Homo-oligomer: A and B are copies of this chain.
Amino acid sequence: VRQWTLGVDIGGTKLAAGRVDDSGVITRRRERPTPTGDGATVWDALVAVVDDVLAGEGIAQIGVGCGGPMDRAGGCVSPLNIPGWREFPLRDQLQDRYGARVALHNDAIAMALGEQQFGAGRGSDAFLGMVVSTGVGGGLVIGGRPVDGRTGNAGHIGHVVVDPAGPRCTCGGRGCLEAIARGPAVIAWAREQGWAGDGDRAQGPALVATARAGDPIALAALTRAGQAVGVALASAVALTDVDVVAIGGGLANAAGDLLIGPARTAFAAHGQLDFVRGCAIRAAALGADAGIVGAAALVGIDGAGAAD
């Protein structure tokens, strides 16, 4: 019987869990949409997903990546996109229900750890994983360990300033990468330029599809977002001296080179120091599985939010 670890990925769109084996492969996976509603409703949905993955087997350790912000020391989460959970005692609730130790971290950091251990960052000793999706986030993995910073928030590349005179950001700042490159901002910019969408399709997939079909506005929107990503990466690599960056998340996974190509071009234009040029900019390799695989990888990282 192969060993497996339970990885749980909690976001505003879906709740997902899986059994992850020692080589980072998910052998049983379940997910359901994140319910809107009160905290108990969200909790019940999470339990249903986890129970389905466990299928009656016990589990000694659970790794959890969850949208931020969170109080990691206390094990309480207040995900921006899950209004029903505010200071929700996720770690204690999971421990009580499953009798398992729980390792908890921000979802972007879990994703980064998954990519570093089993995906596009394999073998890198100084790695930045980033997500371009509804939001823009990231995580640093140095020497095989997630970098926490003082409050567990290191890696917030979405709030690197790429244009001081740029658009307002939801954080209250101005010109953050996230204000330009998050999916809804890319779509809003395309709409302003006259992009008409694609019938009833969801706007993110429609934007990518019309860009692939040659729509110049859709292409320009993804190019603009990719350039902003590249500028932010030039700054991030100068500061952190990582040697591999992987870009994942819903929008980046869908757009592929339409986003990552312009990111590489802008990175090359701005990041000219030798050690910066030596950094590889890659597409993430694990797709939508990175969150679960990375959450499972949190188990075994000392101090990754596990209660004593």
Contact = CB atoms under 8 A, between A and B. Distances in A.
B125 A161 contact: no
Given A126-B149, A272-B171, A272-B172, A161 B235 contact: yes
Interface string A150-180: 1111111111111110000101111110000
B239 A155 contact: yes
A243 interface: yes
Interface stretch (A97-105, A214-222, A273-281): A273-281
A282 interface: no
Interface centre among A150, A174, A271 (most CB of B within 10 A): A150
B150 A125 contact: yes
Contact of A238 (B156, B174, B227, B274): B156
Contact of A161 (B155, B234, B274): B234
A273 B153 CA distance: 10
26 contacts: A69-B275, A142-B147, A149-B275, A151-B241, A153-B241, A153-B273, A156-B239, A156-B241, A156-B273, A157-B238, A158-B238, A160-B238, A161-B231, A161-B270, A163-B163, A163-B164, A164-B231, A172-B272, A173-B270, A173-B272, A174-B269, A176-B270, A235-B235, A235-B239, A239-B239, A240-B240
A242 interface: yes
Contacts of A276: 156, 159
A236 interface: yes
Nearest to A278: B151
Tallying the copies of this chain within the complex gives 2
Contact of A150 (B150, B174, B241, B266): B241
Contacts of A159: 234-235, 238, 271, 273, 276
Interface size range on A against B = 35 or more
Interface string A177-215: 000000000000000000000000000000000000000
B241 A148 contact: yes
Given A160-B235, A161-B162, A241 B275 contact: no
A171 B273 contact: yes
